[in-house]
Structure 1
Amino acid sequence: MKIVLWILGLALLAAIVATAAQALFVSRTVAAREARLAVTKGGTLRDDLPEVVRAFAERGLAGAPPGRVVRLRQSVEMVLKPGAGWQPMRARQVIGIDTAGFVWVAAMKVGPIALVKAIDAFGEGHGVLDIRVLGAWRMGVSKGPDADRAEAARYLAELPWSPDAILLNRDLIWSETADGVEVALDTAGGEARVAFYFDAAGDIVRMTAKDRAATQPDGSVRLLDWAGHFSDYGMVGGRRIPRRGEVGYIYPTGYEAYWRGTITDYRVEARSPN
């Protein structure tokens, strides 16, 4: 009996060590992705933006000099699968300014333990959504051309949180439409495109995108129209940004939100002196 307990104890210890090692590897991978987003290209402010976009971004910059990367935290609720209830999560995010990309890490906790961790990222033309148990062991991953376009669309859709990127990132392709503007970005999996709509005050209050990949409960991927809303504009961390947002897919039965969140902390890291 003692030998059995001893063997079980060793197996448990080995599992704990393996989980910690894998979690450390994932953490270092995330940190490396974040570091790549902070690289600046030394460019000047764009002078080719649609006027409504330029005015929006300059108002968001609030007279401050552009930074090199955005770091923010969110209080989030998510519907993890269609028909399920809202689950509270805490998230942090890094958004590239000169470089098109982001890293979003969210955790669903049971007490002090991060039972499930989601890592959503786009960088260097590629996107990935990686779901981990205890921050270590993979329970699901989305990557490939559909993920490239989907995560690039997320970067574009969240540009209202990064007026610096609107003014500096020359990989973004802007065009005016009859009732708003569109912004596009080339990825390894093809072009991503998002439309923005403004209110009478010139603030972005809604976004839409066509044919964004959505993973279904059975694991299949379906292309659906995507929409979101921004609200509660105000000063946070030296920028005027929307402090609340919501996003969802448009099913044959109508719009269903799956993410809503509030910015709880926001800062822009200063650019290094030339």
Structure 2
Amino acid sequence: WRDAKFGSIANLIVLIGVVISFGQWQFNSMIRSELEVFYPVRPPVKKVIDTEMVATLPEPVQKWLLRSGCIGKEIPQRVHLLQKGEMRTEPDGAWMPVQAEQYFRVDEPGFLWIAKVQAAPFVQLDGRDKYMDGRGHMLIRLLSLFPVADAKGPATDQGTMLRFLAETCWFPGAALNDYIRWEPVDSVSAMAVMHYGGVEASGVFRFSPEGDLLAFDAMRYYDRKGGATLEKWHIANMQDSYRSFDGVRVPTRSEVSWLLEAGDFVWFKLKVSDIQYDEKLSL
């Protein structure tokens, strides 16, 4: 009986391992399928940025593009980057380590963000945030299997559009696309209004006098008990974190916060370790 008992435990452990492995395979297969649809077989025709293209933009945006080193370079159509950091779900919650990679498409704006979050010892959350064809979808699974979050709809569409807009800090040339309209605010700020797929969202970019992008602010839907509410969403880029990738100067450390009535809630701290522009996709 004793041998049978330990044999059953061993079999159970093996079964759990098989189930988790299947979940990871299934989740990764979904990501591969979405990437195949996301990136076209033939990339669109590229445009080289010149001074005439930026001359009509608000002065702070012009300074940003000049300082970033975009002039004379092509507007990237594909961007792939690697991230690491930590996040939490409550203002007093524990920080959870995050490893992520993100794929962007610029000509038809969109992204796929794939993350692994260590929620606790031996407990991993797999996340996929998607913005494609003007629609957003956030999916989070426990151990790649069990749904924790599955968000879609108008509030998610608006939120993922704002996220794309804010994250153009890593590929500044996207600021010149027709789906973004710029409006002056003051000597160091400009408002970007993005319209795509029947959805519109806007946010304010704030720059240093030299042209570094320091912050992005917008009103975004915040999930809470009783329903989502529009709240102030703030991204701060650390000015001492700027470095160049393929000659493009971008921030590599950022903090994402909700500025709530109850107080500021910093929920995500991230660091970008690598950026590739227009690389060939390997699945």
TM-score by length of 2: 0.81
- Quick check: 1:66 aligned with 2:75? yes
Aligned to 2:135: 126
Return the letter of the residue paired with 2:125. Answer: V
Aligned to 1:268: 277
What are structure 1's unaligned runs of at least 5 residues?
Answer: none
* Structure 2 CA distance for aligned equivalents of residues 25 and 182 of structure 1: 39
Once the two structures are TM-superposed, the CA of residue 22 in structure 1 deviates from its matched residue by 2.5
* Structure 2 CA distance for aligned equivalents of residues 28 and 129 of structure 1: 16
* Structure 1 CA distance for aligned equivalents of residues 88 and 190 of structure 2: 29
Which whole-Å deviations, capped at 9, do the CAs of 1:147-188 have from their partners, x for residues lacking one? 000110011111111112123x22111111135101111245
Which whole-Å deviations, capped at 9, do the CAs of 1:227-263 have from their partners, x for residues lacking one? 1111222213432101111111111123211111111
- Quick check: 1:31 aligned with 2:40? no
> Does the 8 Å CA contact 1:160/1:204 hold for their aligned counterparts?
yes
Return the letter of the residue paired with 1:115. Answer: Q
Q: Tell me the percent identity.
A: 25
Indicate how the Cα distance of structure 1 residues 104 and 38 shifts in structure 2: closer, same or farther if over 3 A, else same.
Answer: farther
Return the letter of the residue paired with 1:141. Answer: D
Indicate how the Cα distance of structure 1 residues 37 and 140 shifts in structure 2: closer, same or farther if over 3 A, else same.
Answer: farther
Which whole-Å deviations, capped at 9, do the CAs of 1:205-248 have from their partners, x for residues lacking one? 111102x11122x4732221111111222213432101111111
Which whole-Å deviations, capped at 9, do the CAs of 1:53-93 have from their partners, x for residues lacking one? 13312332355443321111111111123321211111111
The structure richer in strand per residue is 1
Indicate how the Cα distance of structure 1 residues 118 and 246 shifts in structure 2: closer, same or farther if over 3 A, else same.
Answer: same
> Does the 8 Å CA contact 2:46/2:77 hold for their aligned counterparts?
no
Aligned to 1:81: 90
Return the letter of the residue paired with 2:212. Answer: D
Return the letter of the residue paired with 1:152. Answer: M
Matches within 5 A, 1:180-219: 180-188=189-197, 190-210=199-219, 212-216=220-224, 218=225
Aligned to 1:137: 146
* Structure 1 CA distance for aligned equivalents of residues 42 and 172 of structure 2: 15
Aligned to 2:186: 178
What are structure 2's unaligned runs of at least 5 residues?
Answer: none
SS in 2 for 1:115: strand
- Quick check: 1:92 aligned with 2:138? no
> Does the 8 Å CA contact 2:253/2:270 hold for their aligned counterparts?
yes
* Structure 2 CA distance for aligned equivalents of residues 74 and 158 of structure 1: 13
Larger mean Cα displacement after TM superposition, 191-200 or 79-88? 79-88
TM-score by length of 1: 0.83
Aligned to 2:227: 220
Aligned to 1:117: 126
- Quick check: 1:253 aligned with 2:262? yes
